[in-house]
Structure formats: structure tokens, C-alpha cells
Structure 1
């Protein structure tokens, strides 16, 4: 209902749907083209889309991108917002369904797009966290500093995901909701995983020593277990970059169907065969 209300408000109820919320071939930049004639409309619509991301993780990345131009939106930025709406028009009833799967394991997928922002070369971190096989937390955010390597970008993303895993554990304990199962951090970058367990620092990584020690402390204490996954099965990929239609559909189905193919590790292997996305 909320998605349909946004489409009606903007006069796009009869627009032509698209299969991606953002064109992978388009790179948005500040001051790109003519200034948009109604900045207030841009602000209001982006705010509504931000609210919609609470139940639509598939639009988190494009909404985070268009949110970066609130100070001075241009026509190209407005067109990017319209594309998100055309994507929503394709399936306005999408959402998340939660089921009791008989366990409380917490699994977090962490990813980063190194130097993906063409304007300042900062990387984008993304994560999605599952509890009991259900998606409970996700985020797409540009990193605050420029990473000097893909390993550094991935490692900073791992640090953010680790904080989220620990916060969820402490929250559940505080609420006395249930006993938390094991916690798992999944990443597709072998160098970052190696760095998380190897105490040796070198010239290109010593400046991220604080993050390194933070994650390593949690791993050595047995609080968090790290797991490698191939790039094809990296579920956080959708939170770091604009993807093509088949890839978005593939990841969205896995995120909600909890790895029903049996290829995914940890809590996601305990899956429900019924599609819900």
C-alpha cells in the first residue's frame, strides 16, 4: 500500500516497469546537468523511499546513492529517483516474510565495492544479517575514508558488520528473548579473511590496525566465526553496487528463500522451500 501511494503521488501508476532500480551503466555525480526545478519534491520523495527500504532491501543501494545529492539535486538525479519508482512498479507487493526455523544462529554477509564512487573514489560497504535464517538487518553506506586497496575496503566493511552482529547479540540478551546461537561472518575476499586471522601487519594495512585488532579479537575469542563464500553467492553484493536484472532477481530470491538450494553455509542452510519474494 505504501509503495502504491508513492507511485500515485508522483503520477507514475501507469509508468513502464524496469527490472533494475538503477542503471548499471550510469554513474551519478554532483552538479551533473541542469539543477532540478523543485528540490523540495526531490527531498520528500527520497525521504519516502528511505522509509520504504525498511521492508525493501533491494532498493537500499540506489536510495543511498540518490540521498547523496539532497543539497543540490539535478535533473539526472531526479531521473534516477524515477527509475527506482519504475522498478517498484514492477512488483509493489514485494516484502519480507519471517518464519520460525528452529534456531537462533546469526549470520552476517559483508561486502564492499572498492573505489566505486567516481567523484571521490570512496568505497561502499554493504551487509545483510540473518537471525534464525530470516533477514533482520541490512545496510548500504559509503565509507568515510578512501581505501587504498580492495582488501582494506573489504576489511572496513567486515568491521562494520561485526559491530552489527555484536549489537544484535547484546540486544537479544538484554531483551531475554532467546539464547543466541553461533555468530558467523561471511566474506568473499580471501585477503581480508586472511588479514582477520593473521597478526602480521605490513605497509599497506598497518593504518587500519584498530579495525584489524577489533575483528581479530572477536575471532580469537570464539565469539565470531569467519567463512568464505564465492562472489556469485555473496548476498551482500546487492548493497554495494547497481546490478543487472538477472543478478538482482537471483540475490533477492536467495535472501528471502534462505539458500534453498543447499549451497549456503551456516544458518542459511536450514531453509524453507517456499518462495516468498
Structure 2
């Protein structure tokens, strides 16, 4: 793949990767080895998280289409080898989290994918892209579950910062779904949300105790969108800029 042409995105927009149908890929170990390496790459490249998360779902039954998709990720990496997370100086220590979910995005089991990006000030320090364990019956439920996972990460970051004796104000979770935001802040059970498991109301408790704030952000500013679905080139680049994923400047030895 060293001489391959590059790709502007890790996955095709509106991809339809499935475990059913299609030609089998005859070298499962090769596929598993590649995806395992890509998982390692996501430790410093959040823009790869969604694509690698999708590919990792087919480790036990790879198809030719999955192998081609994995090669596309390599072509994307080749075109962005000089990119990485940029951390400039700032005195801002407030925890901000962008949380999003793609409702029923998996064509096989209709489970949703949620994702979040955690910032301390304007520094991206933690991120996640994961398919939910149960089927969400509405976009509100999918978004709400995603915000709960983001809240767990917030609590962990607060504890970590406290151990370092770093002062910070109340963390904020940004979402672009008004219904899930209302559900997080409203203690009244609605008929359409009675089925949501009690464990997910952990977020509401933290909001009522003023340990966490939830706030609306427009979809075009929802950087976590790249953690839940495949985007076109311009959208992905805009969110990468918001996540401070930038090209590194090469310097000479004399510099």
C-alpha cells in the first residue's frame, strides 16, 4: 500500500457494510491483523475511530467488501500521515464534552452508534465511538444513552483533575438533540421514555445535583458527528479542525 493513491475520507459516505451476503475473504488472520493495527492507530487519531469501529465488527466473518474498506482506511492514513493532535498553551481547564448518536445506523441489527469527544479547555483528551448494546426505539433514546456514556467519562476526568489539584468549573455536555437534553434535565417520566432502563438516569441525577450541565449545540457545530457516521471530505475536515487535528510542520535539524 506504500504506492497507493490516497483517499480523503476513511469510509464511503452512506456505506452499507454487512456481515451477510458478499464474497468471503479467505485470509481471516490477515484481516484481523490489519484491523488490530488500525485499532492501535485510534489511540492518537480520533478521526479513524468510527471507521475502525465498523471494521472491527467483522473480525470473525470478513468479506471482500470489508477488506476493500480496510484498505481505504490505509489510503486515508497515507494522505494524512503528517496530521496529529495539536496542544497549544491555554489556562482554561473547564471540561467540555460533545456527544452525538446515529440512530439505528447499523443495517444488520439496527443498533445505534454513539460517540463523544472530551476537551479540557480546547484540548481534546479523550474520545469514544461505540455501537450501543441494545436497540434504541427513538433518536431521543439513542442520544440520551450516548450522553450517559459521556457523563461517565466526565466524572472520571473530574476525579483525575481533583487528584492533580486542578480547579475547574462545572463540566458541560453539548448535544444537538433537544428532546434528549430535556429528558436529562426534567425529572418527570414521559410515556415514551418509561422503558429506558433506570441506569441511564444517572445523567439526570448529575444534572439535578448541578455536577454536570447539558447544553444545546447546532448540528453543524457538533464535532462528535464524525464519531458516529461516515462524512464527506469537507465536513470531516471541518470537524478535524475543531478537534485540533492538524498537519505537523517539518523542521530542519538546525531549527
TM-score strictly above 0.5: yes
Kindly tell me the number of residue pairs found equivalent between the two proteins. 248
What does residue 52 of structure 2 align with?
63
SS in 2 for 1:204: helix
**Residue ranges of structure 2 left out of the alignment (5+ in a row):** 249-255
Q: Does 1:150 align with 2:139?
A: yes
What does residue 207 of structure 2 align with?
219
Give the C-alpha shift of residue 211 in structure 1.
4.4
Q: Provide the C-alpha distance between the structure 1 equivalents of 2:39 and 2:21, rounded to a whole number of angstroms.
A: 22
SS in 1 for 2:191: coil
What does residue 7 of structure 1 align with?
none
Q: Which of 122, 126, 142 in structure 2 is aligned with 1:137?
A: 126
Q: Which of 209, 228, 232 in structure 2 is aligned with 1:244?
A: 232
SS in 2 for 1:108: strand
Q: Provide the C-alpha distance between the structure 2 equivalents of 1:87 and 1:35, rounded to a whole number of angstroms.
A: 24
Deviations 1:134-169 (A, max 9, x none): 000001000000000000000000000000010111
Q: Provide the C-alpha distance between the structure 2 equivalents of 1:146 and 1:140, rounded to a whole number of angstroms.
A: 16
Q: Provide the C-alpha distance between the structure 2 equivalents of 1:91 and 1:57, rounded to a whole number of angstroms.
A: 13
Give the C-alpha shift of residue 215 in structure 1.
1.0
Answer yes or no: is the 8 Å Cα contact 2:9–2:236 preserved in 1: yes
What does residue 32 of structure 1 align with?
21
Q: Provide the C-alpha distance between the structure 1 equivalents of 2:70 and 2:200, rounded to a whole number of angstroms.
A: 37
Answer yes or no: is the 8 Å Cα contact 2:99–2:117 preserved in 1: yes
Q: Which of 68, 74, 81 in structure 2 is aligned with 1:79?
A: 68
Deviations 1:69-104 (A, max 9, x none): 001111111001000011111111211122231021
Q: Provide the C-alpha distance between the structure 1 equivalents of 2:60 and 2:16, rounded to a whole number of angstroms.
A: 18
What does residue 194 of structure 2 align with?
206
Give the C-alpha shift of residue 216 in structure 1.
1.4
What does residue 117 of structure 1 align with?
106
What does residue 251 of structure 2 align with?
none
Q: Provide the C-alpha distance between the structure 2 equivalents of 1:177 and 1:69, rounded to a whole number of angstroms.
A: 43
Give the C-alpha shift of residue 212 in structure 1.
5.0
Please provide the CA RMSD for this pair: 1.4
Q: Provide the C-alpha distance between the structure 1 equivalents of 2:34 and 2:90, rounded to a whole number of angstroms.
A: 37
Distance 1:209 1:40, change over 3 A: closer
Give the C-alpha shift of residue 120 in structure 1.
0.3
SS in 1 for 2:101: strand
Give the C-alpha shift of residue 213 in structure 1.
2.9
Q: Provide the C-alpha distance between the structure 1 equivalents of 2:71 and 2:114, rounded to a whole number of angstroms.
A: 24
Q: Provide the C-alpha distance between the structure 2 equivalents of 1:232 and 1:156, rounded to a whole number of angstroms.
A: 21
Give the C-alpha shift of residue 38 in structure 1.
1.1
Q: Provide the C-alpha distance between the structure 1 equivalents of 2:220 and 2:117, rounded to a whole number of angstroms.
A: 15
Q: Provide the C-alpha distance between the structure 1 equivalents of 2:235 and 2:202, rounded to a whole number of angstroms.
A: 33
Q: Which of 72, 79, 94 in structure 1 is aligned with 2:83?
A: 94
Q: Provide the C-alpha distance between the structure 1 equivalents of 2:20 and 2:165, rounded to a whole number of angstroms.
A: 48
